[in-house]
């Protein structure tokens, strides 16, 4: 499977919805490998405060303006 380049980079500020709540955080890790949680191929680990959200699908993220 050929993957497109990641849309976001390490340190980008992003937001996504998790269980009906808007989460804002920073891209901590880019996972370019296929996983059962993200069959599209690219997922991200997002650090928000003290919480690390793992394997967040790229399609769920929105870039926050600086």
Inside any domain, residue 19: yes
Inside any domain, residue 34: yes
pLDDT tens readout for residues 16-59:
999 999 999 999 999 876 555 555 678 999 999 999 999 899 99
Per-residue model confidence (pLDDT) at position 42: 87
One-letter-per-residue 3-state SS of 17-43: EECCEEEEEEEEEEECCCECCECCCCE
Q: Domain total for the chain? A: 1
Inside any domain, residue 20: yes
Inside any domain, residue 66: no
Q: Which of 21, 9, 5 is nearest to 63 (CA)?
A: 9
Inside any domain, residue 65: no
pLDDT band, very low/low/confident/very high, at 65 (cuts 50, 70, 90): confident
What are the residues whose beta carbons fall under 8 Å from the beta carbon of 54, sequence distance 6 or more?
45
CA atoms of 45 and 17, how far apart (whole Å): 14
Q: Domain residues for 50?
A: 1-56
Inside any domain, residue 43: yes
Tokens matching residue 33: 């490998």
């Amino acid at each position: 499977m050929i993957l497109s380049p990641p849309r976001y980079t390490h340190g980008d500020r992003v937001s996504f919805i998790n269980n009906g709540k808007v989460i804002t955080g920073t891209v901590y890790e880019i996972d370019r490998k296929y996983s059962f949680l993200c069959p599209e191929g690219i997922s991200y680990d997002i650090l928000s405060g003290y919480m690390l959200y793992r394997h967040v699908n790229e399609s769920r993220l929105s870039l926050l303006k600086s």
